[in-house]
Amino acid sequence: MSTVLEQIQQEIAKLETGSTHRNVGRIVTLADGVAKLDGLSAVMYNEMIEFPGGVFGIALNLEADEIGAIILGDYAHLKEGDEGKTTGRLLSVPVGKALLGRVVDAIGRPIDGKGPINTTESYPVEKIAPGIIPRQSVDQPLQTGIMSVDSMIPIGRGQRELIIGDRSTGKTAIAIDAIINQSVINKEGLASGDPKFRPVYSIYVAVGQKNSNVARTIKALEKAGAMEHTIIVSAPAADNPANQYLAPYSGCAMGEWFMENGQDALIVYDDLSKHAVAYRQISLVLKRPSGREAYPGDVFYLHSRLLERAARLNAADVEKRTNGKVKGSTGSLTALPIIETQSGDVSAYIPTNVISITDGQIFLETDLFNQGIRPAISVGLSVSRVGSAAQIKAFKQVAGRIKLELAQYRELAAFAQFGSDLDARTKQQLERGARIVELFKQPALMPKRTEVQVVLLWAVQNGVFDPIAREKIVAASTSIEEFFVTRKAATLKKIVTEGKLSDALTAEVKGACEEWARSFS
């Protein structure tokens, strides 16, 4: 009770004694989540407009005779003639660590039934991306825990890596694995007490998804213990297009808080195709001119201004933004946007737009998925423009040739289909390549630790799996992982602490692999 009284006293003290000025307009038409208003002569672009019943909208169309505004929230009670007034402020969302573990809607309100979120700060949803000078080059790895990604398409902190593929090819699974892996690494690192350890906090933005899918994702994260380091921003398919349009920007604002405070964050936009569709709907209702595929002319800008906000900031900029509170620490926001293609067409409008914005893509193929190669990553079409700059040295030592070997294997496999006699070297390359493909198969929601990946890659490169039948490789990789985790934990720890495979460590790994090979049947 005393808290409520204090709050009222604070609000009374804040009230100005002079007059307040507001600019008003009246609703002329209201349909499909968009209101056209008469008046509002002083409204600014993107300004919040307040309607009766505590409903807010955002002014998006400033025309000579009317204002077009998208309504956020339930507008069923609004009618023609209702007054809308300017608020003088831009849309902001709550930010901070208090949001971790929570599920919020597109404007930051909690929807998980766990009570209000106590934050002291809020960030504007629309913000200009950092310029050139505040940025620092990306050279810290972001381990997804997916072997084919970490070895051949490595992602760095501050990078934008697109995940693109047809429906049901495992795009969301890759993103969720990455989030779970960050949480696993966070728990180990924070428990170790290492002052240099930098946790990565995750934000998952669900745009236009089915509620059942979002619920399943939340359950998977809770089961893996990853929710305590994750924020979920949900704008499901049942939500109005305005919320679906805003959700990625709201999530980005939450991620920017971590970046600007010298911490690291990962944000997943699932998916930007539905985001573009929601924006198309809003634009068409606002009668904006439509272009290719009925998308508005600024659909590229829709995604470019979102993705440019993911960056790595240098320590000087972080210190300036925090007024000196955080010194000597960079901050980063890594973005994993997801795009759904139709029939594998990466040359369609939205996919090509986002490919040209991001720093690489992970391309998933339906054919590979149906062949049982999961994650169904097409190594030939996938790329990371940051590359090995975002890999630890141990990884570079073992993964350097993997992509080339796989490319050679694919070429030879196509040739071998004709059934001609093959020489011993070709057969050996085919066998090795097939084993690498089997090794890269990984169940969903089971990310692998970095040191385990290093051991597995070293093992396959050095023929440890050559005597094992192809169909047993998956079982063998599980077995060798278990062997190292339970009996050679010290070796794994050395890989982490040293960060590279010295001659002595390589000998240790080799000895352990030989020991395992003797016991595996």
13 contributes a contact to another protein by CB under 8 A = no
The footprint of another protein on residues 72-101 (CB under 8 A) is 85
Strand 83-90 vs strand 162-165: parallel, antiparallel, or unpaired?
unpaired
Give the shortest CB-118-to-another protein separation in angstroms.
16
24 contributes a contact to another protein by CB under 8 A = yes
Give the shortest CB-290-to-another protein separation in angstroms.
21
Give the shortest CB-8-to-another protein separation in angstroms.
7
First to last CA, the chain: 70
Of the candidates 1, 2, 5, 20, which one interacts with another protein according to CB under 8 A? 20
CA distances from 107 to 78, 245, 254, 299, 481 (A): 20, 11, 11, 22, 43
CA distances from 388 to 396, 398, 495 (A): 7, 12, 18
- Annotation says 385 is catalytic: yes
Q: Where are the alpha helices (DSSP H) in 421-502?
A: 424-439, 450-461, 473-487, 489-498
CA distance 506 to 459: 11
Cβ atoms 373, 439 nearer than 8 A: no
- Look at phi and psi of residue 116 and say left if phi exceeds 0, alpha if psi is from -120 to 50, else beta: beta
Give the shortest CB-445-to-another protein separation in angstroms.
41
Write down the catalytic residue from 22, 385, 432, 449: 385
The region of 13-21, 205-213, 365-373, 461-469 touching another protein under the rule CB under 8 A is 13-21
Closer by beta carbon to another protein, 39 or else 96: 39
Of the candidates 5, 18, 115, 425, which one interacts with another protein according to CB under 8 A? 18
347 contributes a contact to another protein by CB under 8 A = no
Residue of 221, 214, 186, 191 whose CA lies nearest to 201: 186
Of the candidates 1, 2, 3, 54, which one interacts with another protein according to CB under 8 A? 54
Of the candidates 6, 22, 291, 446, which one interacts with another protein according to CB under 8 A? 22
Residue of 354, 365, 374 whose CA lies nearest to 167: 365
Overall residue count recorded for the chain in this entry: 521
- With CB under 8 A as the rule, give the number of residues binding another protein: 22
52 contributes a contact to another protein by CB under 8 A = no
Closer by beta carbon to another protein, 15 or else 133: 15
116 contributes a contact to another protein by CB under 8 A = no
Q: List active site positions.
A: 385
In the complex, which residues of this chain contact another protein (CB under 8 A)? Answer: 7-8, 11-12, 14-15, 18-25, 39-42, 50, 54, 65, 85
